[in-house]
Structure 1
Amino acid sequence: MRFATWESSGEVHAGVVSDDGLHELPARTTVLDLVRAGLPAALEAGAAAMEGPAIPVASVRLLPPLQAPTVRDFVAFEEHVEGMVAPSGDGVPPEWYQAPTFYFTNPYALVGAHDDVRVPPGSQRFDFELEVAVVVGRDGASLSPEQAREHVFGYTILNDWSARDLQFREMAVRLGPAKGKDSATTLGPWLVTADELEPYRDDDGFLALDMRVSVNGVQIGQDLLSNMGWPFEELISYASRGTEVRAGDVLGSGTCGNGGCLGELWGTRGDDAPPPLQIGDVVEMTVEGLGTIRNRVVEGLQLPPVAPARPRPRVRTRS
């Protein structure tokens, strides 16, 4: 089943998606409410909603499928890491193989499947990242991978928009990414429940979904989700290690390989081809079984430059 959130005539609605369109849930029910109620209850509510009239998808503005309490983004594709570190000549860090790595990104910066996306202030090297995200369906702590599989509610497409110039400056101080990543994250077009994707699971337990991204109609990248270094159950398990995950938490797979972002191609080719995203560019991502998101890049805010740090005076006592 597919669940969506949308805006129409200034009001926010949530519902289930069918081939006929959008079927609204009872008033004030959100997709996050359904996730927290559990998959069986959500499927029951969705089936009841589908008895009602359908609203054409094209007549509304799709919002992110749910208001995520937290968003973690992993880096689970080895090929992506290879491309991003290629200029250094050092190869994939051995630490990457030891455990899945993630950072927390901004849940307030989530945008809908067809929203315009502003260039972050001060950035000249704007990029996309083609990912799939899993949505946690039950609270849990220190979960084993086997337990974590029972905590999966569903999946959606995630585009981790990245200001590469800001990102690399931040990470040079061995912290981040932060402002290089928190301007926008597209989530959508809807949340697809885990049962719908089971037919795509391969013999190793990975979801073999075709992933594609294009800019202005020209395909840039294509990969299979099954090329992840760890399945989603391992990512959830690691995220919960020594702490907890809660229903509604979003965990991104990290960028796929083979052109899942421009930065990877810049690293492997040694030049800016294709160039950084420009105002007016349209980025479209399609993932098998999940749908398509399509965003246009627009001009960002023009803000004053950031003030540099003052040299430390090194005075140890008050004069």
Structure 2
Amino acid sequence: MKLATFEVDTPVGPIERIGAAVEATGSDDAGAGDATLVDLTAAYGAALAAEGEPAPADLARAHVPPEMIAFLERGDRAIADARDALEYAAETGTERGPDGAKLRYEPGEYRLCAPLPRPNSLRDCMAIEEHVRNSMDGEIADVWYDFPVYYKGNPDSVVAPGETIQWPDYSGIMDYELEIAAVIGERGRNIPAEAAEEHIAGYTVFNDFSARDIQGEEMEGRLGPAKGKDFANGLGPYLVPRESIDVLSAPMTARVDGEVWSEGTVDEMYHSFAEIIEHVSQSETLYPGDVIGSGTVGEGCGLELGQWLEDGSTVELAVEGIGTLAHTVVE
């Protein structure tokens, strides 16, 4: 199951909904908005109505909220109810839910958003040794091996799949980063590594675009990154529940204007997601909707390859089992 946040037009203005991608058009090579989506809230309501439940629309919004963070706050129960809703829609072919809500949206009938258009928080680690070694001229500080280091990004700068990114005018060196992000689904504090997996709702593709020139300058002051990262964070196209993907072995590819630049897997992580969650949650509470990046795979960015994105470049990050996240950058 691939979960999506999407936007549709209504007589009272655009609204966001939670959906699941279905049929062949929802393949890993599909671009933003190329899949048929089932509105999971409407589908669950239709299933309740068929069973004769009173107030099915209200009950559906409680079981399968149409907003991603509220959905995640219900934990595994929401995932199970979403699966039931998707199964009902597939088996019955029902077209309308309670109050006439539409169950299916075809490409062109919706706008795909990031799965979490505004995460609760955004952290990005640097957990893959090859990337660190390549980026630091072969010198890795001992502390990097001691515990997972990370920075906190800007959750208000998430960009939708397919969105064109206006590069900030203070930067002339444009770069991408090939990553996977874990999305927290269960609140927790002081979480031991052996229990961390149950706190992960699922995974998505992550591209923390990097203004390499300003990033290099500001980090000479031993703080940051800040302006080098905070202008654009790509998430999507889908959020895949943790039990639906073997995230460690999922092949990852970055293509720039159709040419393969990077390949890898997060099986290369020195610190696992479980270890990262244990570290981050020490005396700090994690909440549903928190996003934690894996860090870039080895040779997963232009900095390591000695080449940069250009004005008009389209970068596509593909992770098998999740999908392809594409953006075009312009000066």
TM-score greater than 0.5 by the shorter chain: yes
User: Is 2:125 the counterpart of 1:74?
Assistant: yes
Please name the residue that 1:263 is paired with: 303
Give a deviation string over 1:51-96, Cα, whole Å, max 9, x none: 154222454321110231100000011000111111xxx5222221
Counterpart residue identity of residue 6, structure 1 = F
Q: More deviation in 76-85 or 2-11?
A: 2-11
User: Is 2:170 the counterpart of 1:129?
Assistant: no
User: Is 2:288 the counterpart of 1:288?
Assistant: no
Instruction: State the distance in 2 between where 1:260 and 1:59 align.
Output: 34
Give a deviation string over 1:121-169, Cα, whole Å, max 9, x none: 2101110001000001111101100121111110000001000111111
The aligned runs of 1:6-25 (5 Å cut-off) are 6-9=6-9, 10-19=14-23, 21-25=36-40
Helix, strand or coil at the partner of 1:295: strand
TM-score (norm 2): 0.81
User: Is 2:244 the counterpart of 1:244?
Assistant: no
Instruction: State the distance in 1 between where 2:257 and 2:8 align.
Output: 28
Offset at residue 49 of structure 1 (A): 4.7
Helix, strand or coil at the partner of 2:134: helix
TM-score (norm 1): 0.84
Counterpart residue identity of residue 227, structure 1 = E
Q: More deviation in 17-26 or 95-104?
A: 17-26
Helix, strand or coil at the partner of 2:277: helix
Please name the residue that 1:61 is paired with: 111
Structure 1 74/49 Cα, relative in aligned 2: closer, same or farther at 3 Å? same
Offset at residue 31 of structure 1 (A): 1.7
Structure 1 44/99 Cα, relative in aligned 2: closer, same or farther at 3 Å? same
Q: More deviation in 34-43 or 44-53?
A: 44-53
Counterpart residue identity of residue 81, structure 1 = V
Give a deviation string over 1:161-200, Cα, whole Å, max 9, x none: 0001111111000100001000100000010000101xx3
Counterpart residue identity of residue 288, structure 1 = E
Please name the residue that 1:304 is paired with: none
The aligned runs of 1:220-235 (5 Å cut-off) are 220-235=261-276
Offset at residue 41 of structure 1 (A): 2.6
Instruction: State the distance in 2 between where 1:7 and 1:116 align.
Output: 17
Give a deviation string over 1:9-65, Cα, whole Å, max 9, x none: 333222122227211133762121111101233221343155154222454321110
Instruction: State the distance in 2 between where 1:170 and 1:58 align.
Output: 42
Structure 1 264/252 Cα, relative in aligned 2: closer, same or farther at 3 Å? same
Aligned length: 280
Helix, strand or coil at the partner of 1:5: strand
**When you count helix as a share of all residues, which structure comes out higher?**
2
Helix, strand or coil at the partner of 2:104: coil
Helix, strand or coil at the partner of 2:119: coil
* Contact 2:16-2:66 at 8 Å conserved across structures: no
Please name the residue that 1:271 is paired with: none
Instruction: State the distance in 1 between where 2:316 and 2:110 align.
Output: 19
Give a deviation string over 1:263-311, Cα, whole Å, max 9, x none: 1223xxxxxxx2x222210001101111101111123xxxxxxxxxxxx
Unaligned 5+ runs, structure 1 = 202-206, 267-273, 300-319
Offset at residue 234 of structure 1 (A): 1.1
Helix, strand or coil at the partner of 2:105: coil
User: Is 2:78 the counterpart of 1:41?
Assistant: yes
Helix, strand or coil at the partner of 2:172: coil
Instruction: State the distance in 2 between where 1:161 and 1:41 align.
Output: 31
Helix, strand or coil at the partner of 1:172: helix
Counterpart residue identity of residue 14, structure 1 = I
What is the root-mean-square deviation in Å for CA atoms of aligned residues? Answer: 1.6
Counterpart residue identity of residue 263, structure 2 = Q
Counterpart selection for 1:85 from 133, 136, 144 = 136
Offset at residue 233 of structure 1 (A): 1.1
Instruction: State the distance in 1 between where 2:310 and 2:210 align.
Output: 13
Instruction: State the distance in 2 between where 1:19 and 1:39 align.
Output: 24
Unaligned 5+ runs, structure 2 = 25-35, 42-60, 95-102
Instruction: State the distance in 2 between where 1:37 and 1:263 align.
Output: 40
Instruction: State the distance in 1 between where 2:141 and 2:282 align.
Output: 22
